[in-house]
Copies of this chain bind each other. A is one copy, B any other.
Amino acid sequence: MPEDSEQQTRDAIMKAAFNAVAMNGYSQVSITDITEEFGKSRSLLYYHYDSKDDILVSLLEYVLIELMAELENESTETAREELELLLEKLLPSSNDASEREMYAVILELRVQAVTNESFREQFTAVDQQLFERIDDIVQRGIENGEFQPVDSNLVCEHIFASLNGAHMNKLTTSRDGITERTKASLYDYLNHRLYRGDENT
């Protein structure tokens, strides 16, 4: 099923917009910046999209779809494996620059949700999906006895906040070893609050 060329061009524009935002941040990005990343003419953007706003709203959809695709389920033996696989994707320890770019762009877009209702709706929906995804895993773990019988909502909410906070810390400060430390602290939490085995200290 080959993509038609209209869709290819639109994708290329999305990639250009992504790079432009990654480079200078949402607050600085202009149509000219996107054009330069795109490599074609400025007016061509307007042939494929209605306005700058249209491009940026489309970028949000594009990025969120890409994110959710990366988080697709893989079948695992245990709930714990599934949870840790998901967390590893959501909080990659690698210093992979493209992973960082991805989460940086999402953060830039996310903050627009503070003052932009349509952005907020999209993030609300994605968070809801992600929350349910984690909740399913935790409940599965509780039911089959892998996990302690915790209040799943409470634990998921906490995992969720930790993840968002971890990205924030990683992307907006330069404290040493912040990624690894935040991650270790999340696993420490899971060890004590969720997993079985009396390794409590």
Q: In the complex, which residue of chain B has the Cβ closest to the Cβ of A104?
A: B114
Within residues 27 to 86 of chain A, which ones have a CB less than 8 A from any CB in chain B? 27-28
Contact between B114 and A188 (Cβ–Cβ < 8 Å)? Answer: no
Q: Does A143 contact B (CB under 8 A)?
A: no
Which residues of chain B are near A192, meaning CB under 8 Å?
192-193
Rounded to whole angstroms, the CA-CA distance of A110 and B174 in the bound complex is 13
| Complex A-B: 28 CB contacts under 8 Å | A24-B115, A25-B114, A27-B27, A28-B115, A107-B111, A107-B114, A108-B111, A110-B172, A111-B111, A111-B172, A120-B172, A123-B172, A124-B173, A128-B175, A151-B188, A154-B185, A157-B181, A158-B185, A158-B188, A161-B161, A161-B185, A161-B186, A162-B162, A162-B165, A164-B164, A164-B168, A165-B165, A192-B193
**A residues lining the B interface (CB < 8 Å):** 23-28, 104, 107-108, 110-116, 119-121, 123-124, 127-128, 131, 149-151, 153-155, 157-158, 160-166, 168-169, 171-175, 181-182, 184-186, 188-189, 192-193, 201
